[in-house]
Amino acid sequence: MASIPYVSVTITEPAELVAAIRARRGGELLNLDRMLLHSPPLARGWNAFLGEVRTGLALAPDALELVVSYVAVLNGAPYEYAHHAPLYLAAGGRQPVLDAMQAGADAVTSPALTTDERALLQLTLEMTRSIAVTPATRDAARRAVGDDRRLVEVIAAIAAYNMVSRFLIATGVTLED
């Protein structure tokens, strides 16, 4: 249950902001949006930033959704996982990888993972649990994504979705009906 009440699903003001969020969400407001809209400046920045992270990067969509889904598992953020695991599969991700993620930190040892998947999960694990990343992990992640631009993007995506999961958990955002 949300620890702060959601704004109404019928909110219309500030009109430009609400319209932009609805446009990014296909006409709907998610419970996350309804929590963020308590603070229009926060909601505006969040919508712009996470919109770019979700759709503006060169990083492959399956790699993005892989790390986002694993952040959700590691942080115990079921809302985030419920929204992103299907996106991972839709982007070409594999169900055995999602199944392996349920082992938490032990997922990185799963034989179901490819070398690239293991590298990205290890990066996610280190960034989420200890913040510091070993050079070997960073190098493996670079090989997995292909270049420095995508490495920077996957690191930023992991950092961004750690922020998202912490917000979701602290405010008690629940899945939509």
Q: What is the pLDDT of residue 177?
A: 85
**Which is more confident, 113 or 2?**
113
Taking 90 as the threshold, does the pLDDT of residue 102 lie above it?
Answer: yes
Taking residues 57-83, report their average pLDDT.
98
Give how far Cα 76 sits from Cα of 5, 11, 70, 124, Å.
21, 29, 10, 14
Taking residues 12-34, report their average pLDDT.
95
Six-digit token pair at 91?
Answer: 């982007």
Give how far Cα 40 sits from Cα of 26, 37, 43, 79, Å.
20, 5, 5, 22
Q: How many CB atoms lie within 10 A of CB 41?
A: 9
Taking residues 147-175, report their average pLDDT.
98
Tens-place pLDDT, residues 60-72: 999 999 999 999 9
Report which DSSP code applies to 113.
S
User: CA nearest 117: which of 92, 87, 84?
Assistant: 92
Q: How many CA atoms lie within 13 A of 22 on its CB side?
A: 13
**Positions of E strands within the chain:** none
Average pLDDT, the chain: 97
What are the residues whose beta carbons fall under 8 Å from the beta carbon of 83, sequence distance 6 or more? Answer: 30
Domains along the chain? 15-55 (no CATH), 61-169 (1.20.1290.10)
Taking 90 as the threshold, does the pLDDT of residue 43 lie above it?
Answer: yes
Taking residues 22-45, report their average pLDDT.
96
For 23-71, the three-class secondary structure string (H helix, E strand, C coil) is: HHCCCCCCHHHHHHCCCHHHHHHHHHHHHHHHHCCCCCHHHHHHHHHHH
Q: What is the pLDDT of residue 1?
A: 79
Tens-place pLDDT, residues 90-101: 999 999 999 999
Residues in the chain: 177
